[in-house]
Structure 1
Amino acid sequence: MWELIRANKRNSIFLMVMMAVVLLLLGLIIGMAVMGADGGLFGLLVAAIVWGVLALVSFSSGDQILLAASNARRITHDVHPQLFNVVEEMKIAAGLPAMPKVYIINDPAPNAFATGRSPQSASIAVTAGLLGRLNRDELQGVIAHEMSHIVHRDILYITLAGIMLGSVALLSQVFLRGMFYGSMGSRRRYSSRGRGGGQAQALFLLIALVAAILAPLMAHLLYFALSRRREYLADAGAVRLTRYPEGLASALEKIANDPSPQLASAGKATAPMYIANPLKRRGRATLSDLTSTHPPISERIRILRSMSHGAAYRDYAEAFTTVTRGKNILPAAALTEEQVALRQGQAEPIKDQQPQAQVHQIGDLMRRANGFLFLTCACGLKLKVPPDFKPDTVRCPRCSRILPLQPHRQNRT
């Protein structure tokens, strides 16, 4: 496990150094284009400041910003006991020092992500649609996948890489918009300088224009390479924690085949955080692997379903090389661990609800998360009392019984 974390760290640092080189070179070239040959140092300084400001914001409150942008609501054990129990099981299996905070996103599209700077301050968010579609084994596979991201320190590296990507994109956009709207005052500068100086400035400007277009593309490729590799490793870690690859495979299959619209709160910057690409367009051919935030989900499913001998890292590595016919992505030390036996799935009814039933279930789930009280009258009617309802009793609209609310409020606190 520790060798895998160290290998992850080495690969991530290499990719982030490459992204830093792209960012600083872009700042250097833009500085020289705007201020002449002596402006390169100023451009480097601006690039570093932009990165520093974004990094400060991300590290101080990045996880809360992401959760707020995703419309995630933190819940207690009473809202969804099964989800809490599964998170606690996987926390113990992974050896995390603290229980991750649990959030639910009010969205019918099934998906999940983890966030937080460290294992001590991690959070796991799942959509209401995911909870409505998956059985316990499948939910356990998804939570184990997110728990593996936490254990492997993926969240920190993806956050850093996302900051660099955002910095490159910001510098490029500012420069290109300045070129488009103001031409950076180039005509005036060229006319006031000698022919030699004007030609040199024009050359710098042309180089900067090309760099501003290509730099975000290069940064995106590095960012996507980092996130795709980590999805494979998180799948491997999930199987090791659950010892049941079919659980995660079945969950991914349901996520891929779900007819819900794409996740409303997801964006390009946050897409790599999710277990499956939340921006996938249904019914259209996908882009090439180079420009995808995630590996092909069908390939991930085939790898998981090829693990018939065990749940150790080496079993995943064998399945990976068989399915992809590519090079092993796991470090050699991870392949020498002891055999991890597979387990049988739990006997559970298949969740295949009608759309209307799913809507009702998701609605009730989010009402619980928002503090509603659920009461069942003796006549069988189910009452849903909003949190801002002040009286201590409520009248059943069917049989006119008076139901006390105070005991339920005390139980909640």
Structure 2
Amino acid sequence: MQSKIVIVGGGAGGLELACKLGRKLGRENVMLVDSRLYHVWKPSLHEVAAGTLDIHQEGLSYQMLAHDRGFTFVYGAMTALDAAARRLTVAAVGAADGEEVIPERSIGYESLVIAVGSTSNYFGVPGARENTISLNATEDAERFRLRLLRLLTQVELDKEKSGAGVTSAGAGARTGLDIVIIGGGATGVELAAELREASGVYAAYGFNRLQVQRDVRITLIEGAPRILAPLPERVSGAALRLLEQRAIKVVTDCRVSSIDRHHVSDSQGNVYPSDLCVWAAGIRAPEFLGSLGLPTTRGGQLDVDAHLRVKGVAGVYALGDCAACFDGDGKPVPPRAQAAHQQADYLLTTFMNMASGHAPQKKPYVYRDYGSLVSIGHQTTVGSLMGSLRGASWFVEGFMARIMYLSLHLLHHKAVLGPVRTGVMATARFLIRRTTPLVKLH
């Protein structure tokens, strides 16, 4: 197999780049490699975990997008790279019963873009990897949702036994459900708010004995002095107020020391009961990048120059969370969807220049921070918008902020589907939600 441009990773940046290049250069010149068959916008995984978003309705098939947007899709995980020969290896794909469906493949390229995103950084906390769920991918979010549904069902059944005078429930009966979220960044805050809202919806769909604020106890733990530490204090304060209004316990300046199946312990000796624990306290580049023979930083990210080229390796580029990219002030570009979107557009210009016989861009990539928005349930959003003056920002909250937040998702869909299909899809999903449960119940 051979392609002029091979993109590994179908996240926000990688998929947008593949779709835009495919429309211009065609499937014989553009190839996307991913270990999954469909794409879900990563910032919406907290909604999948809470059950308020159905991945089977939200997911976009890579094969469909390849057909419609003019690129070639290869299913499988990248496992090895021969940079000198400009060839990469894609692992075999097997069925659930272990039978091999697609054999291992070797793919040649002229230009390679690595956009494999990030995974959780557990910082060596004992029990964190084994006893928490991290929302790195759709299967993680779906695993959380199914476990949440099972635990809520058990709480309901125990309450039914207790209410009927059945004593067999005894001391082991559930008096409620304790959810602990470790990490007070955007993912942790959005998940806490979404779970509180979703638990009320679950109560309306047959969990009749569930008293939401009493029986579903949510604790958000953050190591910094405040949640949403990278954002302005006013945004952090507004988010804290909205979480507390929803009876979500927020603990700051808290260093988690260990995690077991039913408890989270901190460095001060405090213990937090936990039936379901989410790790959202940090990210790092996927470990396999260190085995490719490419230069990496201490955090495992690919070391790239100002033009997003992997240093010292001809024809290899990187974008998104897996790339150690720095702005003009020497500060690392934050791992945000807007950064991946901008980098995809930068490389689009680079490759189009090369395809037309011109030199790549002379101007380096420059990150532009347009602000951040954090969803607090389906009714409100808080955040800050960056102005044209350096350092200037505006605080936004409420309905208009919520509309802006939703528009970010639509802009991503517009980049991969085009404006007409995005409009049709948005209308269809609005109508479908009028005839389906507000949460996924199975």
TM norm structure 1: 0.27
TM norm structure 2: 0.26
More strand by share: 2
Structure having the higher Rg:
1
More helix by share: 1
